[in-house]
Amino acid sequence: MDSKSLPKIELHLHLDCSLRWKVVRRFDPAVTESFFEKNFKAPAKCLDLPDFLACAQQGIQYLQTADQLQAVTLDLLEQLKEEGVLYSEIRFAPYEHIRRGLSPEAVVEAVLTALEEGQHTSGIRAGLLLCTLRELPSGPSLHTAQLAVRYRDQGVVGFDIAGNEADFPVEPHVEAFRHARENGVPCIAHAGEARGAEGIWEVLRGYQVERLGHGVRCIEDERLVEYLVDRQIHLEVCPSSNIQTNVFDTIADHPVDRLFRAGISLGINTDSRTLTNTTLEREYDLLERQFGWGKKEFLQCNLQALEHAFLPEGEKDHFRAHLRQAYQ
């Protein structure tokens, strides 16, 4: 199967973990390609999620000005175009990009400006997800949710929480999620990655999300799997990332095929194209080799991702038709 030529939907993609060397060297000519390969990409096998997240800081330091944010956004849309992505939701945490004086508002506006330009030049349709982080206090979380509300008609399509779920609780961010929901902003949460099924239950009860970033450790609780199927809560699955963060030892241990066969709605994503050193083409090829997936499975995953995308229904119809024709 030639996966590169197939159209795709990607809903779980971190802007600040998807920098390419050709863009970074524009900011800092001293960054050689060998330095980039060694320092901007995480090890193939990290100790755990916090170990993986620490590696992201190398790239984040080059995303502290409006020009840098815009350049990386435009380049990411070009990466998506190269892979035949039809629609993507790109996420990032504004509070990670204020270290050189930008306000969170200026950060969001810089990315939205580039996103609008890049959609015209690349032909990729994209929405922006604003993330808070587990390790942030409640104030910045609520402010990030307020930003999602403020910019929801300008390209922001949802609110998310990422970061270290293993060591930081749900409770400080409940108000932020309530604010987003009450103002019509769809919600997602990273869960079921560094913590097991109990962490997913906490997120579902505390945040009332429509999708789960990762969510793959739901496999540990049969009742939870049944709940996710019944409520049609979509999982944004990132296979290589889950191996890299040591959630599972090898791809053979990954439950993506079992979850798919159980009837859970899920899509396939990269998570972080640079940090994980992957593309959607590589993810598809990995699942084809390991689980024998073909066009039937990938079409269903893309249709399910599209169904749960934060996109107007009329636009979904157009993409739906495109996917069905291409995967025949």
pLDDT in tens, 17-54: 999 999 999 999 999 999 999 999 999 999 999 899 89
Architecture category of domain 3-317 in CATH: Alpha-Beta Barrel (3.20)
Q: Break the chain into its structural domains and give their ranges.
A: 3-317
299: how many CB neighbours lie within 10 A of its CB? 17
In contact, 220 and 196? CB cutoff 8 Å: yes
User: Percentages helix, strand, coil for the chain, rounded to the nearest 5?
Assistant: 55, 15, 30
> Is a pLDDT exceeding 90 seen at residue 167?
yes
* 328, pLDDT greater than 90: no
Entry pTM = 0.97
pLDDT above 90 covers what percent of the chain?
A: 97
Token look-up 């939907």 returns 9
Q: Is 285 helix (H, G, I), strand (E, B) or coil?
A: helix
In angstroms, the Cα distances linking 221 to 228, 259, 270 are 11, 12, 25
Q: What is the pLDDT of residues 94-143, one digit of tens each?
A: 999 999 999 999 999 999 999 999 999 999 999 999 999 999 999 999 99
Distance CA 87, CA 90 (A): 10
Mean pLDDT of the chain: 97
pLDDT at 5 over 90: no
List residues with catalytic annotation.
193
